[in-house]
Amino acid sequence: MAKGILRRILLPKEEKFFPMFEALADYLFQSAEILAKVIDSPNPAGQEESIKQIKQLEKKADDVAHGVFDALDVTFITPFDREDIHQLTSKMDDVLDYINSASQQIKLYQPQKLLPQFTEMMIVIIHGCQQVQIAVKELRNLKNPENITTACVKINELENLADDIYHKLISELFTSEDNAIELIKNKEILETLEQTTDALEDVSDILKTIIIKSA
């Protein structure tokens, strides 16, 4: 019995990381859905509560990320490489940071309007966050990584689609927006959304690295 207690002290269960990964992925998806509502809302007053919710989710994600880093310091056996755990956590946190930044830009800049194609970009981001959710839940069983691989492929496809939407929107802005200030506002928000899709691809790259190392 004493040996069992000692083992639990010296070798904390690696499973404790998975709920934290899954919580981060859930926060990404929730914040993306809320940001889509902000972008679709024509009323700044109606956006305020949603922007607050995103900020709260961003703080929760930071707390979870710190929990992962603290757990790494006291865990002898981890489910996979420590550096990959750190990178996966950091990159998921980056996604939420970009989503929060976009919401704060909308709050601060108060653009008169956002082009309808912004909604297309948000659909891509939401779908990307969904794929992260799927992949992260599959990390508990790396013996069958097919679902993770499929999710990563979809994330990469979505990032390519986001690039196409981004370039199309930039062109649209410069041809249709006569107000230079409004053009700059839209462009900066759009760039943050595009960075969000890049960050999602970074998450995908780390997931693929984890699969390769576990093979």
Given a cut of 70, is residue 27 above it in pLDDT? Answer: yes
Name the residue range of residue 116's domain. 15-214
The answer as to whether 2 is a domain residue is no
Tell me how many domains the chain contains.
1
Question: In this predicted model, what pLDDT tens digit does every residue of 149-193 receive, in sequence order?
Answer: 999 999 999 999 999 999 999 998 899 888 999 999 999 999 999
CB 186 within 8 A of CB 115: yes
Question: In this predicted model, what pLDDT tens digit does every residue of 77-116 receive, in sequence order?
Answer: 888 899 999 999 999 999 999 999 999 999 999 998 888 8
The answer as to whether 3 is a domain residue is no
Q: Collapse the DSSP code of 178 into the 3-class scheme (helix H, G, I; strand E, B; otherwise coil) and give the result.
A: coil
Please, what is the average pLDDT of the chain?
A: 90
Closest by CA position to 135, among listed 86, 203, 78: 203
The answer as to whether 57 is a domain residue is yes
The answer as to whether 186 is a domain residue is yes
pTM of the model: 0.91
The answer as to whether 82 is a domain residue is yes
The answer as to whether 8 is a domain residue is no
Q: At what angle do helices 82-109 and 180-214 cross, to 10 degrees?
A: 170
Q: First CA to last CA across the chain, in angstroms?
A: 35
Task: Give the domain CATH number at 82.
Answer: 1.20.58.220
- Cα Rg, the chain, nearest whole Å: 19
The answer as to whether 4 is a domain residue is no
The answer as to whether 153 is a domain residue is yes
